[in-house]
Amino acid sequence: MSYQVESQQTSAAIGSVPFGHVAQSLVRACTHVQAHALKGIIRAQIEGLAFAKHRYERNLKLIDDLIASEKYQNTFGVYGEFYRDAASEYAEEMRKLTSLGSRLVSDSAELVDGEVDKVFEDAAARTIGP
């Protein structure tokens, strides 16, 4: 979404300052990059919270399994299976978060590169303009 709420006074003030439009373009680019980063952070939080919910459900299942383990005869087996599965799930979750972080950094680098190109093209167009 793009909003054009710039008044004529603001436009005239920015146009009177050398490279005022470049500064304005840089501010817009920075805001766009920050919004992109915030979106990625929220995605990571959603992933982390979903994993935490899953682990809490597994903890409840552990308690049910311990209750059903017939007077401590299978308690060590229940604990062993729980910790083996937990270690595997934590490793998988770290892989997912690392992949998500890597994708976020790659997308951000491309976004910043595109925003910088836009700022310089805008500056060049205004310098060469009428």
Written as six digits, the tokens of 73 are 């005869």
- Amino acid 112: pLDDT: 83
pLDDT for res 48: 92
- Cα separation of 41 and 101, whole Å? 9
Choose among 93, 86, 92, 88: nearest CA to 59: 86
Kindly list the domain boundaries of the chain, sorted by start residue: 24-124
What tens digit of pLDDT does each residue of 6-38 get? 555 555 555 555 566 777 777 888 888 889 889
Q: Is the dihedral of CA 113, 116, 120, 122 positive or negative?
A: positive
Question: Cα(51)–Cα(61) distance, rounded to whole angstroms?
Answer: 15
pTM above 0.85, yes or no: no
The CA distances from residue 23 to 110, 123, 129, in Å, are 21, 10, 18
Question: What pLDDT does 113 receive?
Answer: 82
- Say what the pLDDT of residue 13 is: 55
pLDDT given at position 53: 97
**pLDDT one-digit tens code per residue, 49-86:** 999 999 999 999 998 888 887 766 778 888 889 999 99
Q: What is the pLDDT of residue 107?
A: 86
Asked if residue 91 has pLDDT above 90, the reply is yes
SS3 at position 24: helix
